Amino acid sequence: MGELLTAAATLLVVFSPYIYSSVAKYLAARRAPPPAPTTQPVAERTPFIRALEALLAAHTCLVLFKLFCGRPANIFTDNGASLTTPPLPLRNILLTRLAQFETPTPEGSLQESYLSPELESLLSRLQSFEVRTSYVRFGHDAVQKCAYCLSFDDFWLFALPGLMLSYIRTLAVVGSLTAIGSGKRRFRWWAVGAVIGGFVLELWTLQTTDIRLTDDTVMLHDRLWLLRHLGFLAIPIVVYALPVAGHPLSPLLTLPQTLENVERTILTLRLMERTRLAGARSLPLRERATEWSEQERKISEWGYEDPQLMAEATKLGLEIGMDANAEQAGKMSLLQALCVGLGAPMPQQAPPT
């Protein structure tokens, strides 16, 4: 158990910057004001969503069946024997357990019990220290089925394909639940990363854990098998329970509002044009426009006399001359040039006098 905590702490330290940035972004998004609704209501459950739900139900039933009815066999824990039990006493324990299920003969005597050849071979191989530690690390099936395995590398190559297949199956389920059309594609990297992280953590634990043959040794394979299947059960369910993203609005739905805005803008431009013409015919308005133009001319002259401002205008590539009639020559006024350089809205020109 200590090795598992060490591995978890190592992964936490490695991924802590990414986790911190993600949590900070999430909290900032929570504190931000709610945006305007830009999505339309999510449609009803489609056949694709129903197929994903059926896939999730089948996967969940499979994992639950393995958790309750398919636990890995263990010749030590299943018979209440310690890991240091020699093969001969362990064989006697197995024969005693087997005799409890024997039916008596018509004469009232019990038939002699025999162990299967596979169990006899396993008991003989458990005399080796290397095989017994591999039994703790890789489980009952790997040691019993791999008759040619003797070293750590042999058992590792034998057990790795089955381990990878279980994770690939879960990755396929998680990938299907976050496919296009499920509304949860934005959670794909999180879900896939959780499965791959569990796989890497299990490989690291199997590779680095030191096995000591004592009476209180924890069966590493059985513990990892339980944690692995609990993860296989939880990750797809959590992904399915995450909120579904709404579908973006179609551009066709915004056409009526866009048309209304364009018509309003055209009417505003026409009103501005007629207002300028009406102002030119009014003596008080024409005088005020003349004053405004004179004030703008003075401001422009002040700017032309500032060498620092002219140098900045040259850097921006703006053609600003010293002539007071530069605007009539097709050049921008100083105020307009400043607005262009700063990215500010262009000021409204004075009406003609």
Phi and psi angles of residue 85, each rounded to the nearest 5 degrees, phi first: -65, 130
Contact 319, 331 (CB under 8 A): yes
Helices (H), the chain: 2-31, 47-69, 87-99, 117-125, 129-138, 140-145, 152-177, 188-208, 220-241, 255-281, 283-304, 307-315, 334-342
Please indicate, yes or no, if residue 348 is contained in any of the structural domains: no
Say if residue 203 is in the same domain as residue 295: no
Segment 327-336 mean pLDDT = 48
- Helix axis angle for 220-241 and 152-177, nearest 10°, is 10
Per-residue pLDDT at 258: 84
Long-range Cβ pairs for the range 152-158 (8 Å, 24+): 156/206
> Of the given ranges (37-41, 167-171, 226-230, 298-302), which has the lowest mean pLDDT?
37-41
Q: What percent of the chain has pLDDT above 90?
A: 20
How far the first Cα of the chain sits from its last, in Å, is 90
Per-residue pLDDT at 192: 92
Q: Locate 257 and state its tokens.
A: 């509002």
Please state the pTM of the whole predicted model.
Answer: 0.57
Segment 4-16 mean pLDDT = 54
Q: Among 247, 277, 296, identify where a domain stops.
A: 247
Per-residue pLDDT at 105: 52
Confidence at 109, pLDDT banded by 50, 70, 90: very low
Longest dimension (CA), the chain: 135
Q: Among 183, 217, 247, identify where a domain stops.
A: 247
Please indicate, yes or no, if residue 201 is contained in any of the structural domains: yes
Domains in the chain: how many in total?
A: 2
Say if residue 153 is in the same domain as residue 273: no
Say if residue 192 is in the same domain as residue 324: no
247 Cβ contact list (under 8 Å, min separation 6):
39, 40, 42, 43, 183
Contact 249, 39 (CB under 8 A): yes
Q: Evaluate if residue 165 carries a pLDDT over 90.
A: yes
Comparing 323 with 173, the larger pLDDT belongs to: 173
Residue 191 neighbours by CB distance under 10 Å: 22
Strongest mean pLDDT among 122-126, 181-185, 195-199, 211-215? 195-199
Q: Which amino acid is at 115?
A: L
Segment 45-65 mean pLDDT = 89
Say if residue 240 is in the same domain as residue 257: no
State whether residue 346 is helix, strand or coil.
coil
Confidence at 170, pLDDT banded by 50, 70, 90: very high
Q: 247 forms bridges with which residues in the sheet? A: 40
Say if residue 222 is in the same domain as residue 266: no
Q: Which residue has the tokens 């003075």?
A: 298
Distance between CA 161 and CA 7 in Å, rounded?
A: 22
Comparing 34 with 119, the larger pLDDT belongs to: 119
Burial environment of residue 60 by CB neighbours within 10 A (0 to 12, 13 to 18, 19 or more): middle
Say if residue 86 is in the same domain as residue 223: yes
Determine if residue 45 is left, alpha or beta; phi over 0 gives left, psi from -120 to 50 gives alpha, anything else beta.
Answer: beta
Comparing 170 with 346, the larger pLDDT belongs to: 170
Confidence at 40, pLDDT banded by 50, 70, 90: very low
Confidence at 231, pLDDT banded by 50, 70, 90: very high
Confidence at 300, pLDDT banded by 50, 70, 90: confident
Average pLDDT, the chain: 77
Say if residue 142 is in the same domain as residue 276: no
Confidence at 113, pLDDT banded by 50, 70, 90: low
Say if residue 131 is in the same domain as residue 153: yes
Q: Residue 328: which domain range?
A: 251-342
Q: What percent of the chain has pLDDT above 70?
A: 71
Please indicate, yes or no, if residue 14 is contained in any of the structural domains: no
Per-residue pLDDT at 104: 55
Q: Among 222, 247, 272, identify where a domain stops.
A: 247
Return the closest-CA partner of residue 6 out of 177, 151, 210: 210
Per-residue pLDDT at 55: 92
Say if residue 117 is in the same domain as residue 238: yes
Return the closest-CA partner of residue 304 out of 328, 325, 329: 325
Per-residue pLDDT at 30: 63
